[in-house]
């Protein structure tokens, strides 16, 4: 965890220069033999994928998806159309791989990216599955994405409470994924770019071990993204580490009130 580093990038929004800073980390956890999570964090796209499937299938699904999206960033055209095109290619990669013949192979995908319209950026959060994006704004933590899961559908229908969902036998069953079948487009949520905002993008390996209050606590305790992701990972492992744990933190600050390089611990 000591190798975690914070990266930075200046962005101009409404004639103001803002400083984006971010860091990410992934860990196999304490009970899994392999890490089926993957993440990519580089301007302007920050994503987490949580693979599923027997043998190496989940790892192949998450890695294939992240690799295709990394290529979109390298192309310099990060927008909804190019992202969905990359996901369609990932579906083909997963289906064609010799170790992913099981129909249960696939991956969640969630994250945020800067989307430009009329030369002004805004955040777009995207989601497929039950990995999540949280936003800390004005000292209030909210879940931006909505899980695509059986228990979320039961909650929405009023059949179970959020508290009952945590121990529900179908708590790990998702209703949408990037996998060896026809792609369903991600859900999107559009958000303004605002100084002071802090995003947490994570697999359910984090949210199984940390409550929303816990996530907010570590954000308050650590101003630097690298220090915050390391602290959350350490807490998730200490609380059991029952699954692979992956998280990315992205935050926005006024560059005039920030140093050119974010602190690294």
Q: Which domains does the chain have, with CATH numbers?
A: 7-257 (3.60.40.10)
Query: How high is the pLDDT of residue 264?
Result: 40
Bigger pLDDT: 157 vs 243:
243
Closest to 247 measured CA to CA, from 260, 231, 263, 265: 231
pLDDT at 265 over 50: no
DSSP, collapsed to helix, strand or coil, labels residue 21 as strand
Angle at 241 between CA 239 and CA 246, to 5 degrees: 115
pLDDT at 180 over 70: no
The pTM for the full model equals: 0.92
Query: How high is the pLDDT of residue 160?
Result: 82
Bigger pLDDT: 2 vs 97:
97
Closest to 46 measured CA to CA, from 115, 94, 107: 115
pLDDT at 16 over 90: no
pLDDT digit string (tens) for 99-144?
Answer: 766 567 899 999 999 998 777 899 999 999 999 999 999 999 999 9
Mean pLDDT of the chain: 90
What lies within 8 Å, CB to CB, of 218 at 6+ separation is 210, 228, 231, 232, 235
């Amino acid at each position: 965890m000591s190798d975690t580093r914070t990266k930075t990038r200046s962005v101009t929004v409404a004639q103001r220069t803002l400083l984006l800073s971010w860091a990410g980390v992934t860990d196999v956890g304490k009970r899994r033999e392999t890490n089926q999570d993957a993440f990519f964090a580089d301007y302007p796209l920050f994503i987490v994928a949580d693979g599923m499937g027997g043998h190496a299938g989940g790892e192949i699904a998450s890695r294939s998806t992240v690799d295709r999206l990394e290529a979109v960033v390298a192309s310099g055209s990060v927008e909804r159309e190019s992202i969905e095109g990359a996901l369609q290619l990932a579906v083909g990669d997963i289906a064609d791989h010799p170790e992913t013949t099981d129909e249960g192979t696939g991956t969640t995908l969630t994250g945020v990216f800067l989307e430009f319209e009329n030369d002004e950026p805004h955040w777009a959060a995207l989601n497929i599955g039950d990995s999540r994006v949280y936003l800390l704004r004005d000292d209030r933590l909210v879940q931006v994405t909505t899980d695509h899961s059986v228990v979320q559908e039961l909650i929405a229908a009023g059949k179970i409470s959020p508290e009952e969902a945590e121990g529900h036998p179908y708590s790990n069953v998702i209703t949408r994924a990037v996998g060896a079948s026809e792609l369903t487009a991600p859900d999107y949520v559009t958000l303004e770019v605002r100084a002071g905002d802090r995003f947490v993008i994570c697999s359910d390996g984090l949210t199984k071990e940390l409550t929303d209050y816990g996530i907010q606590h570590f954000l308050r305790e650590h101003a630097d993204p690298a220090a915050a992701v390391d602290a959350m990972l350490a807490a998730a492992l200490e609380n059991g580490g029952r699954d692979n744990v992956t998280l990315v933190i992205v935050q926005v600050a006024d560059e005039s009130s920030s140093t050119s390089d974010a602190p690294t611990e």
